[in-house]
Structures are given as C-alpha cells and as structure tokens.
Structure 1
Amino acid sequence: MGQIHLELFATLDLVGQAPGGPDEDPVGFGFGGWQAPLLDEVSGAQVGAAYEGTDALLLGRRTYEIFAGYWPDQTEGDIATLFNRVPKYVASRGRPDLSWAGSTLLGRDLAASVREIRDRHENVKVVGSLNLVQTLLREKLFDVLDLWIHPIVLGEGKKVFDGGAVPTNLTLLEPPSAGPQGAVHLRYGLADGVPATGDMG
C-alpha cells in the first residue's frame, strides 16, 4: 500500500492560504505570495527532496486549475518534468476542465477514491489544496505531513487546521530543519490513537 503525503507551507499562525502568489486565492485575503520573500536555497532543496519518488499528485480543484494553467507550458526543471509526467487526481464536486495530460476526476466518495489511489501508487503528494487537506486530516486519510513553518504572522486567511479538526496523534519522523530565512521543515507521520492527557504533578 502506498502513502499519501501532505505538502504544506504555513505561517506561525498556521495560515496556509495563497503562499505562491497574489492571484492564487485572493478572495478576502491581502497577503497572497507571502512565501516568496522567505524562500532560500535550504528550503528549496528540502522541497525538492520531498518530491523525490513521487508517482502521483492528488489536488483540489482550485490548486489543480492554477497548476494546469502554468506547468504544462514549463519544459525545464525537475518539478516541471515530474508534474507533467505523473498522473493527476482531482477532488471536486463540479466538472473542472481536465485538459492537462494525465488528469482524472475522483468519484464522489473521497475516502474510497483515496484508498484506491493508495493501492495504485507508492508516493502520492497533496500540494496546497487546503479544503481537500482539511478533509484528509479530519478523516485521517494521510500518512505523512510535511509542514514548512515560516517566521511571519498574518492574522487572517485560511488555516491548515481549521474548524472540524479532530484529535490526532502524530510522530516526528526526522529532526526539524531550518533555513537561513527562518522557515522550519517539520515532517510528521500519522500515529495511532488520540492525544492522551495527564497530570504534571
């Protein structure tokens, strides 16, 4: 059985909305592109390494449309080659245009569709797609959470863990790693059970 990896960029207050650019998700949000000033070679290398071995993408409709409007025209670089080569699975309640080669619309039963993807692929990446990510977190339909925390607070925007999050245990899979601009990479795996409580005394 394969693994579902969530790849997320967030601020200290866990806003994950529109890190890539002003036009990515502008509705009610004035900080689109907040990640760009904080990129450095270390975090870039971490992201590149995180995509090694990827054999499928699982995307929400909005992220898919952004990617489909950009990546098919890119012919250079490892990420462009990867994104254009691997199958793309799209979670949407509507009927998006799936003209990007290798794209497939998932069925209405998201949990069943994700399980089928896990059986078909070894290393599936979920990029951005906050609405989809929140569903996967809530249903515990993921195996690894790659989270890059950036040293800014925005005070507004869609958050990684929003309403509807459920009690979940995670385990740190490797030591945290920081880049010179202050972004910290945390890699967690889904663990069994729910958070325990205790008495500090």
Structure 2
Amino acid sequence: MGTIVVQAFITLDGVVQSGGGPDEDPEGGFEHGGWATDYDAEYGGEEIGQIVAEWESRTEALLLGRKTYEIFAGSWGVWDENAEGLQGELTRRYNRVPKYVASRTLSEVGWKNSQLLGPDVPAAVQKLRADPAGEIRVWGSTQLIRTLAGHDLVDEYRLAVYPLVLGTGKKLFSDGFAPTRLTLAEARALPSGVLVNTYRRSGAG
C-alpha cells in the first residue's frame, strides 16, 4: 500500500507559501518569498538539506496540485541532472518518478512521466494509495492537501517548522480544513532553531 506523505517548510503561524524564493509563488501580493532559504542561509541550513535528501531518497511518486506542478516542472523539470549535490540528486529522482497532477484547468502535462488525475481526484488518489508504490510525496499544493485531508487520504505530515511569524500568506491548515487527529511520531530540534516534526494519522502504522 502506498503512503501519502505531505512535506512542508512552515512558519509558526502556519504559512507555507513561497519558502524557496521570491518568485516561487507571489500570488496575493505575497512579499516574503524565500523566507526559508533566507533563514537557512543566515543560521545554517546544511542539516535540513541532509534531512530533505534522506526524505526524498524514499520518494516513489509525486502528487501535486496544478500550481506546484508548474513550479516544479519549470525548475526540477529543466535543471541539469548532472548538477552537484542535492540539486542534481533531486532533479534525477523527480524526472524518474511518476508525477500525478490534480488540475481542473490543464488538459495536458509536458514534464516526462507526468499524468493528470482526472475529475475525481479523491478516487484517483485512493487507487494510487492502494498500489504498493512506497511513499507518494506531496509538496506545496495546499488546495490538493485540503481535498486529500477531507477524504482521510493523508497518512503522514513532515513539517520543518521555522521560528518565524510572517502574518500573511497561504497556510497549510487554513480555516475550514478537515478536523484531523494526528500522532507525533518524531520530533527533532536542529541547531538552526528549526523543528522537524513528523505526524502520522492516528491509527496509521
């Protein structure tokens, strides 16, 4: 059985928008793009990079909403697979694994090994989850995560919690999110001040 794993860099006030760079997702006039990478550069982000590399070594598929898919396709989908370090490693993996895209507007997807889920996203994801696919990774994709949670389809959340309050931006758990009971499976404090917490759906193995 596949495992749906949501991973996110998140602030203390729950913001997950555009942590990687100023142009990643400026929707809504968001002015704090790059907050996670800026923090890592200032306080030392080597350890979080190692943790992400370990996480992604277990990724067997990507499950993405339309906006996150387009961000990924325009970065990991075109970057040099022979680049050094984590960038090359993730580029090779993301190009290789299947990518499943939830979208009401796209009619085709160009990044290799990508396919649209179709109109009934919960049913399509339930089918993916029933296959022995290992970890199916979700990055970004807040609307998709909200849909998945509403159908009890998220098995695990891995959250890198940054000691920042932004006061604005898209939140992972926004108003109206499905009530969810989780179990803290692991907690790790990094020297940079980032907390890496893993939560599993109560009752999950």
Q: TM-score, normalised by structure 1?
A: 0.90
| Residue 196 (structure 1) aligns with | none
Q: Is 1:130 equivalent to 2:138 in the alignment?
A: no
Q: Is 1:25 equivalent to 2:25 in the alignment?
A: yes
135-144 vs 14-23, greater mean Cα deviation: 135-144
Question: How far apart, CA to CA, are the structure 2 residues paired with 1:50 and 1:162?
Answer: 25
Confirm or deny: 8 A CA contact 1:38 1:183 kept in the other structure.
Answer: no
Q: Is 1:185 equivalent to 2:196 in the alignment?
A: yes
63-72 vs 91-100, greater mean Cα deviation: 91-100
Q: Give per-residue Cα distances to partners, 1:52-72, cap 9 Å, x unaligned.
A: 221100001011101111112
- Deviation of 1:137 (Å): 2.2
Distance 1:96 1:179, change over 3 A: farther
- Deviation of 1:107 (Å): 1.4
Q: Is 1:151 equivalent to 2:163 in the alignment?
A: yes
| Residue 197 (structure 1) aligns with | none
Does the residue aligned with 1:8 lie in a helix, a strand or coil? strand
- Deviation of 1:97 (Å): 4.4
Kindly provide the amino acid, as one letter, of the partner of residue 189 in structure 2: A
| Residue 66 (structure 1) aligns with | 71
Confirm or deny: 8 A CA contact 1:177 1:184 kept in the other structure.
Answer: yes
4-13 vs 21-30, greater mean Cα deviation: 21-30
Q: Give per-residue Cα distances to partners, 1:121-174, cap 9 Å, x unaligned.
A: 221000111111122223221101001110110000111110211221111112
Q: TM-score, normalised by structure 2?
A: 0.88
Question: How far apart, CA to CA, are the structure 2 residues paired with 1:61 and 1:7?
Answer: 17
- Deviation of 1:183 (Å): 1.1
Give me the identity figure in percent.
46
Confirm or deny: 8 A CA contact 2:122 2:147 kept in the other structure.
Answer: no
Does the residue aligned with 1:168 lie in a helix, a strand or coil? coil
Confirm or deny: 8 A CA contact 2:146 2:178 kept in the other structure.
Answer: no
Confirm or deny: 8 A CA contact 1:11 1:154 kept in the other structure.
Answer: yes
The unaligned stretches of length 5 or more in structure 1 are 193-201
Question: How far apart, CA to CA, are the structure 2 residues paired with 1:82 and 1:151?
Answer: 30
| Residue 15 (structure 2) aligns with | 15
Kindly provide the amino acid, as one letter, of the partner of residue 64 in structure 1: Y
Kindly provide the amino acid, as one letter, of the partner of residue 37 in structure 1: D
Does the residue aligned with 1:153 lie in a helix, a strand or coil? coil
Question: How far apart, CA to CA, are the structure 1 residues paired with 2:135 and 2:8?
Answer: 16
28-37 vs 146-155, greater mean Cα deviation: 28-37
The root-mean-square deviation of aligned C-alpha atoms, in Å, is 1.3
The unaligned stretches of length 5 or more in structure 2 are 83-87
Number of residue equivalences: 191
